[in-house]
Chains A and B, each alone.
Chain A
């Protein structure tokens, strides 16, 4: 092999030789000892390797872990919110569908007039109940107040005992 051909052949292997991954065979070693250009290239490859090894390693800013965890939590909440929103929308849609279905069924079967009568009876009963309860409202309010105070005292006493 001519010297030029050897230079070309070595050019592909210079970096591997420089880092010790490839050992030059006898011919290549002999060429390297005589060819100043190839030797210079080998030196350059070694210097580049050294420079690359010495490159400063960038490190994340302090608090990286907590910031990442916060982002993960936020993303999780957002996902939960979307799921909640979809669930609630589906629930409302289902309720509306059921109501619409019931209304159509009542209209078609003629039960709507019966249900109107039932509604009137219910409304009448509610009015009578309200009329009976109204005079006793202060009494009920007083009893509720006493119950709340008693529960409050019990909660305070049990909390203080701990």
Chain B
């Protein structure tokens, strides 16, 4: 720690040690945490927080230090070699510091949240391992190394979901399979990319490939791999399922923040560094369509949810849509918007999940039908939640407003349809958060009375839980009003691409702002209408839910019929049944038919040997006849 501090203070030009710390320290401490005595909650927590703090300091050190890259040989097979190469430059440092900061805040929250729960040790361990792998993925400067860390995240993802409910790991398996499919696409994409770029594997050596021929395939595969990590449709469906069982800190950490950061980071690099995505091209259109479909479908599902965690998890999907839309435009404003939105999303989505966690801890449930008016007992959480909700709804002057405006700008430039659909998404986002906030924190106080609960009244959470929430809320405001700070960083990342553009400050197009505000006002009116109609905030969106036509669609969607994972599972099951049938048939030939045939034949032959000498002698003469025949035949 002293070393890091001294390096920070000295501002040295090379922070190789910091890289080692970022990769090794969380991993080692993660293992240490799980090896510590079971009873040592305090010790474990200290080690856990310590690792996160040091990681954050190291990330800060890298951000402030100079760009550099390091490499050493990893695999040698004759002429073929893979360099273990890591690179620190403003983009990766930006991702690292975002990961580190959010991990630290969620970590502090986790220490309180997990107290008294079993398996907190394993959760700490996987949390830290996850962090190490994420650091590695962000630092990787070689596609193979990237893949190594990227695939490693699968394991921790699986483990962290599985910890939530050990008896039913189906959600974890689902997450694992979906992420593995995305990773598989990424592997194929990387293979094509390396092939097309003439065998270059170093990420900083690959020149952007034009999108022609096979390159299109490579681009789509890599993009799907990256977006799959971020949770865009059709790789989204594990998130709502995981929300049910997985520990809330995990939801805040992984789908809420970390996966978005990494996925969007890679998507931007694919679109900018590996391939030259041109505005208005077919591929651009393709990515934008993924974006708007993700926005509309996920937010549509979010609207009808009556459970806080589930509602938030659908928003975790829908927000990716905005980023994908922004990247898909391939316009400077779109990409800046996407990256800014990514950062903002990580902040407010973590905050939202953390407040959901606080509600769960206080009331024992997150079912909106059972809770109401919690601001009276949990005022600080309510404030944090409200700020984050305003931010995600795109209310000025919070950060979500500014990043969304940038994306709207880019969408309008790319096509009116995309803009309108993005606006529709914004409307639904605002509507669903009005409902969520109104139902959970406002109105008369209500909570589920649980007999066994030794905590009859919901209470404000401990400081360790609300402080991270408040810090995140504060960032929502800071990055909104002072958007020049993050935008300056983001624009420096994009370098020449940004030449002549500056998107900081108040949005450039006043008319777009007015339209957005109009949409927000319309959302408020819609909410009031729904509230008046049903009398309950939680049912404020029922008029949309049960609208003719939509009602049926929602029913089908709720049953999982629109889940690509379910389709995949159905297809796999059908295929497995087919294979099983074929296998049975082949087995039958081998195990039954052949055996029967041979055993019948064998029994028959054995019966010929009935022990009678006369019969044996008869055979001898029959045999002689045949031998004579053969002798004449072959003479």
Tell me if chain B binds chain A.
no
Residues of B with Cβ closer than 8 Å to A? none
